[in-house]
Structure 1
C-alpha cells in the first residue's frame, strides 16, 4: 500500500481524517495573519481533488465556498474541544449535524475496482460532515490532538500505540522540535 504525501497541491493532509484535513486549510491560524487556502471556489475544487473526494474539479460555486468554510470552522472548533477535553459547542454541533443530514455523495465501485464518491459539491461536504460526526463521536474522539509545534494549529488523530503523539507530522513539526531541543542541549 502506497503512503500518501502529506502535502498535496499545496494543502496539508496530516490529520488522519478528511474532516480534520479540511480544518487545516487555514495557514497560521494561531498567528497574527492567518491565510485561508480556500480563497476561491477553484481552491475548494483543488482541495476536494487533493483530498481524493473528487476525481476532477466538481465545479464549486461561491455558495459552496461559504458552506465549506462554515463546515471547516465548526469542525475545527469541535475538534479543538475534543483535544482540550471540554464540552462541544452546541452551535457547532448543530451546524455539523445539519450538514451531515443533507444528501451525501454516493459511494460507488468504479470499473477499475476502486471505491469512489459520486456527487456534487454539496454532497461531498455532507460526506465530510458525516466523517466528522463519526470521528468526533466515535471510538477515537479521545485521540484527537492539536499539534504541539508552535505555531502549528493542525488537529490530528493520534493513532500511535501509546497515544502520546505530539506533532501533526514527524517530518515537519516533530523534526523542528527535535532540532530545537538538540540546539538547546548543544548550547547548554
Structure 2
C-alpha cells in the first residue's frame, strides 16, 4: 500500500530529521506528491534502514512481504500525521494498520558487554526470531505513543515548498520551520539573501 513511487535514489542516504523513529520511517518517502523519492526501493534498503535507525545491530534479512508491510505502516503513520496536521478525522484504514502492526510482539532489548573496540562498555542487542516484524511493531508503537500524546501538537511538516519531510519540533520556542537547517533551512537563507541582492 505505498503511493506511486516514481523515483528511487540508488543507495540513497537516509534522512534522520524526524526526531522520532516513526517519523523517520515516514521520511523514507521524499518529495511526496511530486517526485516521490523512494528510499526503501528494495528489501535490503529496509534492512540497512533498520540498522541505521537503531533497531538492529546488523541489517536483518528482509523479505518482499516485509518490505510491503513496512511501506504500508509508513503510509498509515503518514496519513495519521496528516490528520493531526490538518485537524481532520483520523483515517480508519490507517488506524487499523497501525493497531494491527503494534499488536505483534515488539523488540525487547538485551544489554550485553560490548566488544573491546567499542567506546561504550555496554551495547544493546535485540534477539528475536522475527526481527523485521518486531521492529515494525516497535515503530507502530512509537507512532501510537507520539500521535496519542501531547507531543502530537509538535509534529510539523517542513515549510520548504520542495520538501515534505515531517519532524517533531523539539525547539524551546516551538518555532522550527525546516526539516533541518543543513537541508532546507540553509536553502531558504540563501534564497532570501539572493532576493535581497536583486
Contact 2:30 2:165 in 1 (8 A): no
Number of residue pairs the alignment of both structures matches: 179
Pairing partner for 1:121 from 132, 138, 144: 132
Deviations for 1:101-158, whole angstroms, at most 9, x for unmatched residues?
Answer: 1111212212232334333111110011111111111220100000001211101000
- Verify: 1:144 aligned to 2:160, yes or no: no
Unaligned runs of 5+ in 2: 1-10, 115-121
How many angstroms does 1:28 deviate by?
A: 2.1
How many angstroms does 1:85 deviate by?
A: 2.6
Listed as ranges, the matches of 1:4-15 within 5 Å are: 10-15=13-18
Pairing partner for 2:23 from 12, 20, 29: 20
How many angstroms does 1:76 deviate by?
A: 1.1
Cα distance in 2 for residues equivalent to 1:35 and 1:86: 26
Per the alignment, residue 87 of structure 1 pairs with 89
Contact 2:31 2:165 in 1 (8 A): no
Deviations for 1:54-104, whole angstroms, at most 9, x for unmatched residues?
Answer: 111211101100100000111111112222232221210121011111111
Unaligned runs of 5+ in 1: 1-7
SS of equivalent residue, structure 1 residue 114:
strand
Per the alignment, residue 176 of structure 2 pairs with 165
Per the alignment, residue 60 of structure 1 pairs with 62
Contact 1:19 1:128 in 2 (8 A): yes
- Verify: 1:154 aligned to 2:157, yes or no: no
How high is the TM-score relative to the length of structure 1?
Answer: 0.89
How high is the TM-score relative to the length of structure 2?
Answer: 0.85
How many angstroms does 1:9 deviate by?
A: 6.5
Query: What RMSD over aligned residues (CA atoms) do the two structures have, in Å?
Result: 1.6
SS of equivalent residue, structure 1 residue 153:
coil
Cα distance in 1 for residues equivalent to 2:14 and 2:28: 7
Pairing partner for 1:175 from 182, 186, 190: 186
SS of equivalent residue, structure 1 residue 52:
coil
SS of equivalent residue, structure 1 residue 131:
helix
Cα distance in 2 for residues equivalent to 1:69 and 1:118: 23
